[in-house]
Amino acid sequence: MPVPAFLKQPHTLYEIAEQYWDLHCYPTQYVFSLLAQVSEDKLEREKCIELSSPEGQEDWLTYCRRPKRSVLEVLHDFHKSASKLTLEVVFELFSTIKPRSFSIASSSLPTEGRSIDLLVAVVNYRTTLKKPRLGLASNWLKNLNIGDKVYGWIKVGSMVFPEDATTPHILIGPGTGLAPFRSLLQERDVLHTAHKDVLHLIFGCRYKEKDFHCREELERMVHEDKLSLYCAFSRDQEKKVYVGNKIAENKELIWQLLSQDARIYISGTAKNMPDNVRDAFVDAVFGKCGGHSVDEAKKLLKDMENNGRFQVEAW
């Protein structure tokens, strides 16, 4: 059959499955409509039609999305229908591996642009069905050897930092959200413009001794009065502590920094963290320190966002 344009040259089906298809992606409802088209088994076909219909969306969520069931596991469950797949339908059924974006975690200055650092969390967990799951890109990177080639490209990040090195920065980066801030800190360190009164980093992770990323580097900058560091180790004590708690604890200082035209930067997972951080600013900083109502505080935060003083990079 004709080769898809993105492949550029002929490949065996095994090579395509191994290198281009995301075999562990979650199947869409369209996958079940494809299985229904080729199925010759009455029960499987009826179930596929149901799962692909608008009325069956809740069943599809329960069967696929919530337990994180992969497309391969679905084909195993519907093996009679899967045995009737044609080559053309197989190419419709599987989606290609999507490129992953990572924030660069280093400045180009120390190495004169010859290398970059990435801060990547290796994904490894079990689903609600007790099935093991490994992150595709993170585990591939983990298993690379020195000398292996990695193909990618560099694009301009979404965060814009002021050229004026005296403008206060409030950097909020739990976990791998530290990445873009490490890049900034390295650059300011090399340029001798890093100072604890300007650079304020609120970092969070589960355990101080297990996942405190770049600890030696950050503690060195603190010791040299180049950085003010506030850490939230959520699992090191009975009561969980998050970056939002650190914002509340230091609300007076943050309010003072905002009066000095400080910029706020948030980086990390998009799940709950950005909203929790916003709530901490609205309640503790603008509310308790600034005396603003919730609506007033939200408007002030929105105005800061529109003016580039409040920036979020979340994934």
Per-residue pLDDT of 71-114, as tens digits, reads 999 999 999 999 999 999 999 999 989 989 999 999 999 887 78
Q: What is the pLDDT of residues 17-68, one digit of tens each?
A: 988 899 989 999 999 999 999 999 999 999 999 999 999 999 999 999 999 9
pLDDT at 270: 86
Q: Which of 154, 147, 172, 173 is nearest to 102 (CA)?
A: 154
pLDDT at 2: 64
Query: Which letter does DSSP use for residue 237 in this model?
Result: S
The verdict on 77 and 206 lying in the same domain is no
135 in a structural domain: no
Residue that finishes a domain, picked among 78, 93, 108: 93
- Say how far apart CA 257 and CA 117 lie, in whole Å: 30
Q: What is the pLDDT of residues 266-310, one digit of tens each?
A: 999 988 999 999 999 999 999 999 999 999 999 999 999 999 999
Q: How far is CA 123 from CA 4, 153, 188, 243, 261, in A?
A: 30, 22, 31, 22, 38
245 in a structural domain: yes
Residue 5 clears pLDDT 90, i.e. is over it: no
Residue that finishes a domain, picked among 73, 93, 113: 93
120 in a structural domain: no
Q: Which of 104, 156, 184, 167 is nearest to 308 (CA)?
A: 167
- Say how far apart CA 14 and CA 20 lie, in whole Å: 10
The verdict on 188 and 288 lying in the same domain is yes
Residue 7 clears pLDDT 80, i.e. is over it: no
pLDDT at 47: 98
pLDDT at 4: 63
The verdict on 177 and 287 lying in the same domain is yes
109 in a structural domain: no
Instruction: For 118, list phi and psi in degrees, rounded to 5.
Output: -120, 145
Three-state SS at 257: helix
Q: What is the sign of the dihedral through the CA atoms of 80, 51, 272 and 23?
A: positive
219 in a structural domain: yes
CA dihedral 283, 288, 292, 298 (to 10 degrees): -20
Supply 261's token pair. Answer: 């035209």
Check: CB of residue 284 under 8 Å from CB of residue 247: yes
The verdict on 182 and 306 lying in the same domain is yes
Task: For strands 124-126 and 132-134, give the pairing.
Answer: antiparallel
119 in a structural domain: no
CATH number of 194's domain: 3.40.50.80
The verdict on 77 and 204 lying in the same domain is no
Indicate the number of domains in the chain: 2
pLDDT at 110: 84
The verdict on 179 and 310 lying in the same domain is yes
Residue 129 clears pLDDT 90, i.e. is over it: no
The verdict on 173 and 309 lying in the same domain is yes
pLDDT at 118: 96
Report CA Rg, the chain: 24
The verdict on 212 and 89 lying in the same domain is no
pLDDT at 212: 96
255 in a structural domain: yes
8 pLDDT tier (thresholds 50, 70, 90): confident
The verdict on 302 and 180 lying in the same domain is yes
CATH number of 64's domain: 1.20.990.10
Q: What is the pLDDT of residues 211-227, one digit of tens each?
A: 999 999 999 999 999 99
Q: What is the pLDDT of residues 233-256, one digit of tens each?
A: 999 998 899 999 999 999 999 999
The verdict on 180 and 81 lying in the same domain is no
139 in a structural domain: no
Residue that finishes a domain, picked among 93, 126, 157: 93
Residue 166 clears pLDDT 70, i.e. is over it: yes
Which range of residues forms the domain containing residue 49?
5-93
Question: Can you state the percent helix, strand and coil of the chain, rounding each to 5?
Answer: 45, 10, 45
Angle at CA of residue 255, ends 254 and 259, nearest 5°: 115
